[in-house]
Amino acid sequence: MVERLVAYRRHLRRWLADGKPRIYSHELAGLAQVTSAVVRRDVMTIGYTGSPAKGYAAAGLVDRIGRVLDPPQRPGVALVGLGSLGRAVLKHFARLHPELRFVAAFDVSPEKVGRIIDGCRCHGSADLETVLRADPALVGIIAVPGEAAQDVADRLVRAGVRGILNLAPVRLQTPPTVYVEDVDLAVSLEKVVFFARPETERLEALA
């Protein structure tokens, strides 16, 4: 559901940018590739309401979605690991997502420390606790090799982050108060490989 709200908001903003102030559930559904029933149910769940005659007010809906998704104050994000994956993340969000505040990036490799990469100062990983004590982050992004991920997670948790986006191919051990979202490209790719096979072949693999 959160995923869908994010998608709705993207499409609604484009819709508004096109100068169209109102939208019907089936129109938004078409853009987000879901059914109109899902849209209506979601809108209902977040407590917004439209009119049968004119649909939903796009701006009001964007606003309501923001009230649900976005924390009251701009959340701080700490990125650990500036390998190719970490850099990709930083670049994409620097461009795409001004609502987030990247408070710091960390890496072990000495030639990166001290430099400013994509508008974000790179600190040594050893300074993680110090830097985040001065400027706390709500969420951390782990983009280090699998072997280092658990240690980074422990330190992020101790530094007070409440959520982690984990790009390393391991499941993290964390206290239940911390939310972890795993994005494992290897798993996703294996999933695609699996479902890319014709259904007949998949079923006989189970036999």
Report the interface residues with a copy of itself, using CB under 8 A.
2-3, 6-7, 10, 32-33, 45-47, 67-72, 75, 77, 83-85, 87-89, 91-93, 96-97, 100, 138-139, 141, 161-165, 169, 171, 178-179, 181, 183, 185-198, 201, 205-207
Please say which residue, 53 or 193, places its beta carbon nearer to a copy of itself.
Answer: 193
- Would you call 78 helix, strand, or coil by DSSP? strand
What residues contact residue 66 under an 8 Å CB cut-off, 6+ apart? 9
Q: Which does 32 bind (CB under 5 to 8 A by kind): DNA, a copy of itself, none?
A: a copy of itself
Q: Which amino acid is at 16?
A: L
What residues contact residue 50 under an 8 Å CB cut-off, 6+ apart? 25, 43, 56, 57, 61
**44 is an interface residue for DNA by CB under 7 A:** yes
Q: Which does 134 bind (CB under 5 to 8 A by kind): a copy of itself, DNA, none?
A: none
**5 is an interface residue for DNA by CB under 7 A:** no
**101 is an interface residue for DNA by CB under 7 A:** no
Q: Which does 87 bind (CB under 5 to 8 A by kind): a copy of itself, DNA, none?
A: a copy of itself
Angle between helices 58-69 and 2-17 (to 10 degrees): 140
**24 is an interface residue for DNA by CB under 7 A:** yes
Q: Provide DSSP, 17-33.
A: HTT--EE-HHHHHHHHT
Which positions from 47 to 86 touch DNA by CB under 7 A, shown as an x/- string?
--xxxxx-xx------------------------------
Residue 18 has a CB neighbour count (10 Å cut-off) of 8
Q: How far apart are the first and last CA of the chain?
A: 35
What residues contact residue 151 under an 8 Å CB cut-off, 6+ apart? none
Footprint on this chain of DNA (rule: CB under 7 A): 1, 24-26, 34-38, 40-41, 43-44, 49-53, 55-56
